[in-house]
Amino acid sequence: MGKPYMRDFEQRNQHFDRLAKTPDLRWLGQNTNHIPTHPAVKEAMIKCIQDEEFHSYAPPAGLEELRELVIKDLGLEKMSALITDGAIAGLYHICHTFCGSDDVFLTTDPTWAWPMAFVRSVGAQVVQIPIYGDEYEYRLNPHRLASVISEKTKVIYLVDPNNPLGSCCTKDEIEAIAEIARSAKAYLIHDCTYRDFAYEHHLAADHYPERTITVWSFSKWLGFAGLRVGAVTALPDVIEQLAMAPPNNLGSNIVAQRGAIAGLKVKPEWLSSVLATTRENQELILKTVESIPGLRVPVFPSHGNFLVIECVEAGVRPEAVCTILSRHNIMVRQGAYHTETFGSRFIKVSTSTPREWVEEFCALLPASIDEAHGMTENVQLF
């Protein structure tokens, strides 16, 4: 029975609590990685627990071995790393450190929505550049970015590969975006959470090291979403500002950090199997979508571990499709989670999952689209 006068955050939390308690839920909506973990990673975390290492705080900027491995993996030797409680905690801290009242925070539409909430909470203005649609090729054209830069632009937030679209900047685009940020003397947050799934990826920090802040996560490629460990890298003077008052000043989860260290050491072996499964799943979804009138995958191949499926031409609402699939223990995401402007056009499906989950989704999709045509009631999704 629901609580009287329930607040939005209570409803949201109870929604995800129900998902967490659902047996055999097919998590196809949050870009999480459900491919079985490498044995060496499990062993490292089990050893940490057995040794009861968790009684002590971890170092405030992260275990030195992990910090060094992060810098090595990214290839940013002149940078410094700050280990965070997942990428989102790093983004929260960056937004609150470098944005203030009347500053402009410039990003795309769609983008990952939470950093916009973070900067609005400190009085900054959010400006979004539409990139959804064939006319934009589902990507950020640097000329369009340059056209909206102003003297108030404090931060450019680039999710690359883009979540939810799966598009990825070319080397020339990254160089141009970096130069635009430099000319504006703006901070460039390069959120490359999904870089490990990209066919090719280029770091803005290589071209604009002075004020580029690279944000990276272990949630997706290593499957650590529930363990909360990420990293922020930048030049030492930028990290010094962030290290003055971080929200995790007593260190991030030490069990997760031990697992992350082990994960980076086996990454070449591990990631090759993850990518193979992810891309095979995307091929299967594409084939299924192409067989259903009105559906299409606008960005393929995706450089993330997910695909956008447009359903607007099929005449169905994304929320209806999500609700119908949820009755079969399949969780996919409605577009409105990412964008108010374009959210009515698509659903998003994760692909770094066991093959059988995607096969179940594909088997149910045709009938789910048919059923969604007759569904008009409002449903509460988050």
Residue 3: is its pLDDT beyond 60? no
From the list 180, 122, 111, 117, the residue with the least C-alpha distance to 149 is: 180
> Which residues pair with residue 156 across a beta bridge?
106, 188
Percent of the chain with pLDDT over 90: 96
pLDDT at 376: 77
Rounded to whole angstroms, how far apart are CA atoms 269 and 155?
A: 36
Residue tagged 């690359």 (tokens): 160
Q: Please count the residues of the chain.
A: 382
φ, ψ dihedrals at 321, nearest 5°: -65, -45
pLDDT at 5: 53
Rounded to whole angstroms, how far apart are CA atoms 297 and 287?
A: 10
Rounded to whole angstroms, how far apart are CA atoms 306 and 294?
A: 20
Helix, strand, coil shares of the chain, percent, nearest 5, are 45, 15, 40
Rounded to whole angstroms, how far apart are CA atoms 99 and 155?
A: 7
Residue 205 pLDDT grade (very low, low, confident, very high; cuts 50, 70, 90): very high
Please check whether residue 169 is in contact with residue 196, taking contact to mean a CB–CB distance below 8 angstroms: no
Angle of the 254-265 helix axis to the 39-50 helix axis, nearest 10: 150
Please check whether residue 81 is in contact with residue 216, taking contact to mean a CB–CB distance below 8 angstroms: no
pLDDT at 1: 38
pLDDT at 2: 45
Architecture of domain 8-37+268-372: Alpha-Beta Complex (3.90)
Residue tagged 């594409």 (tokens): 286
Rounded to whole angstroms, how far apart are CA atoms 170 and 201?
A: 7
Please check whether residue 282 is in contact with residue 301, taking contact to mean a CB–CB distance below 8 angstroms: yes
Q: What is the mean pLDDT of residues 25-48?
A: 98
Residue 380 pLDDT grade (very low, low, confident, very high; cuts 50, 70, 90): confident
Please check whether residue 192 is in contact with residue 201, taking contact to mean a CB–CB distance below 8 angstroms: yes
Give pTM, 2 decimals.
Answer: 0.96
Tokens of 223: 């499957």
Residue 178: is its pLDDT beyond 50? yes
From the list 275, 81, 273, the residue with the least C-alpha distance to 196 is: 275
From the list 270, 265, 268, the residue with the least C-alpha distance to 65 is: 265
Residue 374 pLDDT grade (very low, low, confident, very high; cuts 50, 70, 90): confident
Q: The sheet that has 80-84: what strands, in order across it?
A: 80-84, 230-234, 212-217, 187-191, 153-159, 104-109, 125-130
pLDDT in tens, 281-306: 999 999 999 999 999 999 999 999 99
pLDDT in tens, 208-262: 999 999 999 999 999 999 999 999 999 999 999 999 999 999 999 999 999 999 9
pLDDT in tens, 70-117: 999 999 999 999 999 999 999 999 999 999 999 999 999 999 999 999
Domain 39-265 top-level CATH class: alpha beta
Q: Where are the domains of the chain?
A: 8-37+268-372, 39-265
Q: What is the DSSP string of 325-375?
A: HHTTTEE-EEGGGT-TTTGGGEEEEE-SS-HHHHHHHHHHHHHHHHHHTT-
Encode burial over 316-330: b for 16+ CB neighbours within 10 A, e otherwise: bbbbbbbbbbbeeeb
Alpha-carbon radius of gyration of the chain: 21
Percent of the chain with pLDDT over 70: 98
Rounded to whole angstroms, how far apart are CA atoms 345 and 132?
A: 10
| Mean pLDDT (the chain, rounded) | 96
Tokens of 167: 């598009």
- Lowest-pLDDT range of 136-140, 245-249, 307-311, 345-349: 245-249
